[in-house]
Structure 1
Amino acid sequence: MRTRVEETRKLSDSNFNDLRTLLNVVPGQIDYILDQFTHPKEKAFDDLDNINSLVGDGIYEHLKPKVLPVLKDIKDLAKDMKANRDTLVQVNTVLTDVKHSSAYLRTSLRDVKTSMEQTLTDPQCSFPAVAPTCNSIRKSLSVLDDSANFDHLPSLDGHITQLDGLLQTDLSSLVQKANESLSNIPEEVQNQTRDFITEFKKTLNSIQSDVKNISTKIPIQKTLSSFVRYINNSEDYILHYLPTMEECDSYRWLVCLVVCCLLTLILTFYLLGLLCGTLGYDQNATPTRRGCVSNTGGLLLMVGAGFSFFFSWMAMTTVVLTFVAGGNMEKLVCEPYRNKKLFQVLDTPYLLNEDWKYYLSGLVLNKPDVNLTFEQVYSDCKENKGLYATLKLDHIYNVSEQLNITKHTGDINSNLENMNIRIEDIELLDKTGMKTLMDLRSSGIDDIDYAAYLNATERSPTRVNLISFANDIQRKANQLPSGRLKTSLKSHADTLINIHQNQVIPLQNSMSTMNKQMKTLHYRTSGLKVRVSTTIFFLNSTQDFLTSQLSKIVVEESKQFGSKIISYFEWYLQWVEMTITQQFAACKPAATAVDSAVNVFLCSYIVDPLNLFWFGMGKATMLLLPAVIFAVKLAKYFRRMYSEDVYEDDPVNKVQSKPRVQTVPGVQTVPMVQTVPMKNMRHANSRARAEQGTQTI
């Protein structure tokens, strides 16, 4: 207890320093909270500087899924239209060449056929040996003719001319212009909001100045000065009476020390008496012949018993006084403080002040009707909550209302919603481009008789393979005898081979090229009317969408942008409220100071040791009574007697021997009764005195 009391000064200094630190950091915490307004303002500035991407790109992203597919279809149509025109020109050129080559081949084959017929009129063919060969060759001349006729295929000049007219309208340029109109939306938004952004930044800077000035309006200095005054007065009071308390504690310590020393002295006599009596005890020695050590032990026990009678009243008085003080303090203060029933008593309405319902709210807020209780404040401070929320200082000054953004700006949200952004109607395709699409739909390119062209180009240019036919002529000519007929037939065979190489093969290549080109053209123009009609339908639908929904999309994106700006300041307000209620001026040092004063200093430092002291003293005092009884009883066996009474009981004769007097040197003669040592012996000093009529010394 003395050690704890000596630590009181250090404990009080630590708690008062914590409380002063708490009060000193409050203004800095307020300035820190208000300075955090810079963060939402800077984020708002960044968004305003990037409004072209945040709003403009948002508008573009809304329009892109609707507009870009249509523009792509138009661009693909323009690309296919140009490719179709080029393909038609190539097919038409090849068609002209094929017709010319086919006619030339027909003429060549007719000439060869005529020449061979004349050759077969040779008189040699009338010979029996030659006639079969000539007849066979003559019969085979019927297949020597062309099989492909391209004269019935019409020219494609009309379609080419029609496409040339459509291609005068550059649909790709029109599509590119529409794409540029969409891509320029972010830049257009930036240009239209430049003045608004400048004014809005000025407004936010003005709001920041107003927010910083809030700290000068908060009556924090007045409130803090009152708390500092309470702390200083409490510290002065403690420092003033602490020396007195330490001096009184010294007296208390001396009194307790004396009482403990007396009890220790009694215990010492008892222990020494037991030690000496036990060590010096001789069971064969008579009471008058007991040794000095045993006699000293008995005397020490009697001295301990005597001291017990003389000083027990001091121990009992000390126990009663400390019990009354420590027990009542434990039951009336410490235990109710730990289970918070003490706070419930203090929070009883009109108890501490009959004019105030709640004493603490009347003391702190000067509003006794506010439900501010000791228990609630202690619990909140124990959880290290903010002093602003714990003491309900919003009844004095509502920081949230002062930090209301709409109150300072005249409703920022309304200003942002009225942000003037107008995007002109985007024309995807002008009237000329629309007319071109409609003309393309009715151009009839997909109505070309592709089957006729494909059938004509898929045939062989000749009815028979000229190489095989020429080889057959040569084989048959070799069977003829030498002469003019044989030579002429071989010459005609060589001519056919030459026609195949110089006319048939180039014609076949041209027909193959034409066939591939017609297939490609047929693939691209297949369903052209449906495709163009679908494109025109979606083009009109998308244009109607832009006309009716573009302004709504702009307004929606503007609202989202405004909501994002507002969310920064709403987040700031939420953070301010959370910080003020949970972190601002965390009052755990106050709860710690109360715990230090009551639970630590009063209960742990004083009451608990005091209760331990009186409980120990009480047990020691209670044990004095059995200690006296045992000491007196034991002293009779340890002390040396001046006389002894001996009785001899004869178990046979039942005869009592005559008493005899034993003289002890240096001691007055007293009659003693001595019995013959028997099995049962007992001392009876009082009985001996009655029988002898003598006084025992």
Structure 2
Amino acid sequence: MARTFVFLLLLLLLLGLCGNPVSGEPPSSIDALGDLDYELPETNYETQDSYKPGHIGILFQMVNVFLRTVQPNDFPEEIVRKVVKKMFESSINFDKPENLILSLKILNYEIGVIIYTLLGLLFVILMPLVGCFFCMCRCCNKCGGKMHQRQKENGPFQRKCFAISLLLICIIISFGIFCGFVANHPVRNRVKRTRTLANSNFKDLRTLLNQAPEQIQFILAQYNTTKDKAFSDLNGINLLLGGGIQERLRPTVIPVLDEIKAMVTVIKETKKALESMKNSLQSLREESAQLSSALTNVKSSIQNSLSDPACSVRPSSETCNSIRTSLNQLESNLDLNQLPPVDGELDSVNDVLRTDLDGLVQKGYQSFNDIPNGVQHQTKNIIADVKGMLNTIGSSVDRVTQRIPIEKTLSTFAVYINNTESYVNSNLHKWEEYDSYWWLGGLVVCCLLTLIAIYYYLGLLCGVCGYDRHATPTRRGCVSHTGGVFLMVGVGLSFLFCWILMIIVIVTFVIGTNVEKLICESYANRKIFKVLDTPYLLNENWQYYLSGIIYNKSDINLTFGQVYSDCKNNRGIYATLQLDNRFNISKQLNIAQHIESINNEFENLNVHLSINLLDAAGRTNLEDFAACGIDSINYAPYLSQTGRHPARVNLLSFAYDLEKKANHLPPGNLRQSLKREAESIKMIHRLHIIPMEQSLGTLRQSIKTLQHITHGLTGRIAKIITTLDSAQNFVTNNISSVIKDEAKKYVRTIAGHFEQYLLWVDFSIREKMVSCTPVATALDSAVNVLLCGYIIRPLNLFWFGVGEATVFLLPALIFAVKLAKYYRRMNSEDVYDDVETIPMKNMENGNNGYHKDHLYGIHNPVMTSPPK
């Protein structure tokens, strides 16, 4: 039987190999680019990967605590190895010393189980004998069989103690019965749950078998995504390669061109300022002459008016003299003749502007911006060749994936899956019939214990409720007597059936304990796999049993524990079963060769670019502008003149003062004439002074602009020319290396897409493709759920509950026998002739003395009067 069990376990583990387990992580290079995101579609499975017993799990844990007390030893790996090895031997000689030592080790490991089993067998042997002797003894009016109860002082106390003790024991028995019912209840639907679990697992296993071609097609489809990305980058070589070259040159080229462009603006602003300055000077000269002429005329007119005879008469003479004295203020205040003209500087600037420096700068910008188009134009043929070569990689990947032996391996396991499913479905009805017998037997056992407990409870209920402490033993009530009878019935049933129940407990205890400790716990902590993976254990010619079965090469390190662990961690079947021993995917894909082919196609990538930032005419133009002399203009005289007022006096103030003085003159021609002259002065202010002030402001602004523009102009232009020469030299000398570096980056980008894809293909086929999680789940379902969860743990809870209740029947029947004396109606009772001998306590309780009559064992009570 043990050998059959080992073969069954191996079959379950081999079935687990249908899946693929191992934990692996994608190589870091896959995520190096991050441009493409590959991921195999996730497969959803029905079967849960963990088993939860629910609320009954607390009871299972309680039983496990008891089992650890009974069997505290760790899993005996060495013993199991030796036992399995002996099982495969043709004959076993127990006389050999090593066999004897092995037997002693087994006994030492099973010492706890053996002790409890012996105690149970002792219980089975003694309880029928004790019951038989107890029955015969009572038939002989011994062992409490005589219906006579002696009166004791502590009788009421004993009765209460016996009742409470029996009640507590019955509660403990009831808990054991409850555990038995709870353990027996799931048996009815165990086959139904097993069928659901089996169907779910087989469905998941078939999903595993069917996903291989789907995942292969998905992997191949991702090549189109990669190719489309690569083609997009190839078509965008102007932006990727050309743009890269531009970005490398931009920090050197663009600032220089921007400075030259800014200098073009400076030149234009200089011309504008010089023209404004020239126009302002010319306008001021003309307006200054007109102002001088107008002031001379008005001055002469006022002098003529002051020659009037009225000016010789006091007090008009004083006013006239005051006016005459102020006439020397009516003169121009500007001396523009000392200001040199700017015609020469303006002509020089115009000569500079005859060269289209702005157009020359735009040509520099254009040559820089034409880099992408130049790159694309020069790489047309190479791009076409690369596209053709990339198409061949897809065909290579297709051939490799079609040759992977995963589908062939899975088809082999599909036969085992179909046979196992047929076997399970064809035998489930038989298992259901066996479970019905199991459930019925468990129900009978629990009901029998329940019946005994009910008799005890009824006995306690009737005895306690019907007991009358004033009634004598021979006069007890019917209810109390019935309670005592119930107790004795319970005692009889206990003697009759407890040894049978103990036999059931012993058998289930030995089976359940050993299976739980040797299989369930060792499966949970994976120690059973360590035993099965022992070299040369299952086959003396094979170092590793699995590799011997799968590859017929026992030296490949393929173990049960590794396979189960890999499947549990959702690893692919290729890595789990180490199929690289049959088909090396890395060698077949030959990633390095494909990448080298891509790099070879780009070896002929030669791009020549000519970038001229500014030609000789533009350079000369800048030098001419620096030499035009505007930075040597002396602006102090100009600023000095622009700071003056056009006239020596404020004409408006002078006119108002003249009107005021004229009003002090007597009415007449003189007064009217002076007022007219005052109005003429105001007109001169409006016609000449205001425009001249505006021209002076414009001139001053032009001078300030020129001062700002020409400040350090020669140094700025020299710096621009130096920077221009440096930038041009950098572009001329380094353009080839820049192109080469950027071309390498571009090639790495294109090759990186396919390297990323090929690495992902290698990783996916190894680690993710056809993940064997359903296999580990199926194995968990077979061992952890079906064997341990559905069978062994309920079985352990059953014998634990029934065993507890059965063991406690022994003290229960003792207390029940003792307690029945206090509830049953006796045939005789104690009688006392001497009243003084009656204990005071009995008198206090209402007990009277009785005459003893022991003739023939029949006692007729005779009431005697108590002493007065």
Could you tell me how far apart the structure 2 residues matched to 1:545 and 1:359 are? 70
Contact 2:658–2:674 at 8 Å: present in 1 too? no
Contact 1:302–1:632 at 8 Å: present in 2 too? no
Compute the displacement of 1:437 (Å): 0.9
Could you tell me how far apart the structure 2 residues matched to 1:147 and 1:158 are? 27
Could you tell me how far apart the structure 1 residues matched to 2:683 and 2:531 are? 131
Computing the radius of gyration from Cα coordinates, the structure with the larger value is 1
Could you tell me how far apart the structure 2 residues matched to 1:35 and 1:388 are? 20
Could you tell me how far apart the structure 1 residues matched to 2:246 and 2:668 are? 91
Alpha-carbon distance change, 349 to 165 in structure 1, aligned in 2, over 3 angstroms? same
Alpha-carbon distance change, 247 to 306 in structure 1, aligned in 2, over 3 angstroms? closer
Compute the displacement of 1:430 (Å): 0.8
Bigger CA drift: 535-544 or 487-496?
Answer: 487-496
Equivalent of residue 525 in structure 1, options 710, 717, 722: 710
Could you list the per-position Cα deviations for residues 370-401 of structure 1 after superposition, in whole angstroms to 9, with x for gaps in the alignment? Answer: 43332333333334443334334344434455
Alpha-carbon distance change, 573 to 135 in structure 1, aligned in 2, over 3 angstroms? same
Could you tell me how far apart the structure 2 residues matched to 1:630 and 1:493 are? 149
Could you tell me how far apart the structure 2 residues matched to 1:316 and 1:117 are? 157
Could you list the per-position Cα deviations for residues 563-598 of structure 1 after superposition, in whole angstroms to 9, with x for gaps in the alignment? Answer: 444444455456556655665333232222222322
Could you tell me how far apart the structure 2 residues matched to 1:495 and 1:65 are? 67
What SS does the aligned partner of 2:188 have?
helix
Bigger CA drift: 152-161 or 90-99?
Answer: 90-99
1:117-156 alignment runs, 5 A limit: 146-156=332-342
Alpha-carbon distance change, 95 to 232 in structure 1, aligned in 2, over 3 angstroms? closer
Partner of 2:563: 377
Could you list the per-position Cα deviations for residues 504-542 of structure 1 after superposition, in whole angstroms to 9, with x for gaps in the alignment? Answer: 766665555444433433333233222222222222232
In the alignment, is residue 602 of structure 1 matched against residue 796 of structure 2? no
Compute the displacement of 1:147 (Å): 4.6
TM-score by length of structure 2 reads 0.61
Partner of 1:70: 256
Could you tell me how far apart the structure 2 residues matched to 1:595 and 1:522 are? 93
Structure 1, gaps ≥5 residues long: 655-676, 689-697
Compute the displacement of 1:439 (Å): 1.4
1:298-697 alignment runs, 5 A limit: 318-399=504-585, 402-403=588-589, 405-412=591-598, 415=601, 419-424=605-610, 426-461=611-646, 463=648, 468=654, 510-572=695-757, 575-576=760-761, 579=764, 583-612=768-797, 614-615=799-800, 679=850, 681=852
Compute the displacement of 1:369 (Å): 3.3
Could you tell me how far apart the structure 1 residues matched to 2:450 and 2:671 are? 165
Equivalent of residue 20 in structure 1, options 184, 206, 209: 206
In the alignment, is residue 220 of structure 1 matched against residue 390 of structure 2? no
Could you tell me how far apart the structure 2 residues matched to 1:680 and 1:46 are? 124
Alpha-carbon distance change, 362 to 495 in structure 1, aligned in 2, over 3 angstroms? same
What SS does the aligned partner of 1:410 have?
helix
Could you tell me how far apart the structure 1 residues matched to 2:363 and 2:693 are? 46
Compute the displacement of 1:47 (Å): 2.7
What SS does the aligned partner of 1:420 have?
coil
Partner of 1:208: 394
Residue 532 of structure 1 aligns with an amino acid whose one-letter code is I
Could you tell me how far apart the structure 2 residues matched to 1:132 and 1:639 are? 166
Could you tell me how far apart the structure 2 residues matched to 1:472 and 1:145 are? 16
Alpha-carbon distance change, 456 to 260 in structure 1, aligned in 2, over 3 angstroms? closer
Could you tell me how far apart the structure 1 residues matched to 2:655 and 2:407 are? 123
Equivalent of residue 375 in structure 2, options 164, 189, 211: 189
Residue 381 of structure 1 aligns with an amino acid whose one-letter code is C
Compute the displacement of 1:435 (Å): 0.9
Could you tell me how far apart the structure 2 residues matched to 1:128 and 1:260 are? 156
Compute the displacement of 1:29 (Å): 2.1
Contact 1:648–1:678 at 8 Å: present in 2 too? yes
What SS does the aligned partner of 2:341 have?
coil
What SS does the aligned partner of 1:352 have?
coil
Contact 2:573–2:769 at 8 Å: present in 1 too? yes
Residue 197 of structure 1 aligns with an amino acid whose one-letter code is I
Residue 343 of structure 1 aligns with an amino acid whose one-letter code is F
Could you tell me how far apart the structure 1 residues matched to 2:641 and 2:463 are? 151
Compute the displacement of 1:118 (Å): 11
Equivalent of residue 240 in structure 2, options 22, 36, 54: 54
Pairwise CA RMSD: 5.7
Compute the displacement of 1:500 (Å): 7.2
Could you tell me how far apart the structure 2 residues matched to 1:134 and 1:216 are? 127
What SS does the aligned partner of 2:338 have?
coil
Alpha-carbon distance change, 11 to 163 in structure 1, aligned in 2, over 3 angstroms? closer
Residue 520 of structure 1 aligns with an amino acid whose one-letter code is T
Could you tell me how far apart the structure 1 residues matched to 2:293 and 2:850 are? 178
Equivalent of residue 416 in structure 2, options 216, 219, 230: 230
Alpha-carbon distance change, 215 to 274 in structure 1, aligned in 2, over 3 angstroms? same
What SS does the aligned partner of 1:218 have?
coil
Alpha-carbon distance change, 11 to 443 in structure 1, aligned in 2, over 3 angstroms? closer
Contact 1:144–1:462 at 8 Å: present in 2 too? yes
Bigger CA drift: 130-139 or 611-620?
Answer: 130-139
Partner of 1:175: 361
Partner of 1:659: none
TM-score by length of structure 1 reads 0.74
Structure 2, gaps ≥5 residues long: 1-183, 838-847, 860-868
Alpha-carbon distance change, 122 to 148 in structure 1, aligned in 2, over 3 angstroms? same
Contact 2:595–2:754 at 8 Å: present in 1 too? no
Residue 436 of structure 1 aligns with an amino acid whose one-letter code is N
Contact 1:405–1:412 at 8 Å: present in 2 too? no
What SS does the aligned partner of 2:355 have?
coil
